[in-house]
Amino acid sequence: MSFSRYRYPVAEPEFGEEELRNVIEAVRSGWISGRGRFVEEFEEAFARYIGVKYGIATSSGTTALHLALVALGVGPGDEVIVPDLTFVATINAVIYTGAKPVIVDIHPDYWCIDPDKLEKAITPRTKAIIPVHLYGHPCDMDPIMEIASKYNLYVIEDAAEAHGAEYKGRKVGSFGHASCFSFYGNKIITTGEGGMVLTNDGELAERIRILRDHGMHPERKYWHEVIGFSYHMSSLQAAVGLAQLGKIERFIEKKRRIARIYAEELSSINGITLHPEMPWGKCIYWLYSILIDSEKTRISRDELAEKLEERGIETRRFFYPLHEMPVYQKYAIDTYPVSSRISKKGLNLPSGVKLSDDDVKLIVKEIKEIIR
């Protein structure tokens, strides 16, 4: 049963008996908060899936970013480079620490942070870079890591939208000093709310765990040597996440199948740019995304979205560029022609794993009829 008012929502989770069994077991065990077997099992299983040593489950993707930054010592006086086109959680987490975010434009071909713009943004105060794997497409990680190494900077991957995406055959989230994922209800796999920090650094993982638990000493209960946070994931959430993780490859293949159908059916429409996939990347198409050139389609992105909504088809406009929002304008250091152009043209189409092939073809049929 769907609670959406749309026939075709942009994203919708899929649950089955596996999730229900795990939740029932968690409830019957009495361990429904941040302890119990499901939290540890989910942390270990997800870290293993991505290919890193340690996972620390959190209450959200945003708190995962905040914990990673604080644990790496980012704070007042530091600068952290972020892309202009991203959800605001990326920049907000930097601001929470007292550090200054520095906004950089995106690459025109694949919409993630442009490595060629990074060095210009680096100053003696720069401490970290947060590349965001936007809409399921990986960033170009090799030059990012090379620049970070050259200037002795931390890299924190924001992989909130890219569970299972790959860069040169290796899963995103395994490149940076830390990586952060979200398990919000519309993500590839979900725990309802929730997130996770991954790292190969054992000492960093321990600091993150301590900070997540109010800063409590790991061996001396209720003794606090640092100021921490309450950023736990509950056992109920982890129980759902563990079941979801068992289905992730099927979900990704379904997302990629939906993307193939959209690409085949929309490729003939003049004025529509398809969701990219670079030769060095495997995109998991969290949301299948297109660009609308209104001069060629003779209909604007917003008009198309409104007419699709009238027909029960939910869409989402791209994120606003950070530099355009008054609260973040002071962090702009340049002009941002690429993100400004792409944001105004971008539209996310229904991409949920419950969509059938015929559903996707019907959505495309509606798009074609509206444009005609």
| pLDDT over 80 at 194, yes or no | yes
| pLDDT over 50 at 334, yes or no | yes
| pLDDT over 60 at 1, yes or no | no
| pLDDT over 50 at 2, yes or no | no
Across the range 140-166, mean pLDDT stands at 98
Which residues carry out catalysis? Answer: 187
| C-alpha to C-alpha distance for 263 and 285, rounded to whole angstroms | 12
Show the tokens assigned to 165: 């995406």
pTM (2 d.p.): 0.96
Q: Which residues contact 118 (CB under 8 A, 6 or more apart)?
A: 81, 104, 129, 143, 144, 147
Look at residues 338, 297, 287, 351 and name the one whose alpha carbon lies nearest to residue 137. 287
Portion of the chain with pLDDT greater than 70, in percent:
99
- In b/e form, how buried is each residue of 33-59, taking b as 16+ CB within 10 angstroms? ebebebbebbbeebbebbebebbbbbb
Among 33-47, 103-117, 266-280, name the one with the lowest average pLDDT. 33-47
Q: What is the pLDDT of residues 281-293, one digit of tens each?
A: 999 999 999 999 9
What is the model's pLDDT at position 4?
A: 63
Q: What is the pLDDT of residues 295-317, one digit of tens each?
A: 999 999 999 999 999 999 999 99
Across the range 235-257, mean pLDDT stands at 98
What is the model's pLDDT at position 49?
A: 98
What is the model's pLDDT at position 36?
A: 80
Would you place residue 33 in the very low, low, confident or very high pLDDT band (cuts 50, 70, 90)? confident
Q: Which string of DSSP letters, residue by residue, matches 352-368?
A: -TT--HHHHHHHHHHHH
| C-alpha to C-alpha distance for 283 and 319, rounded to whole angstroms | 19
| C-alpha to C-alpha distance for 46 and 196, rounded to whole angstroms | 9
Across the range 244-266, mean pLDDT stands at 98
| C-alpha to C-alpha distance for 109 and 180, rounded to whole angstroms | 24
Would you place residue 142 in the very low, low, confident or very high pLDDT band (cuts 50, 70, 90)? very high
Share the mean pLDDT of the chain.
96
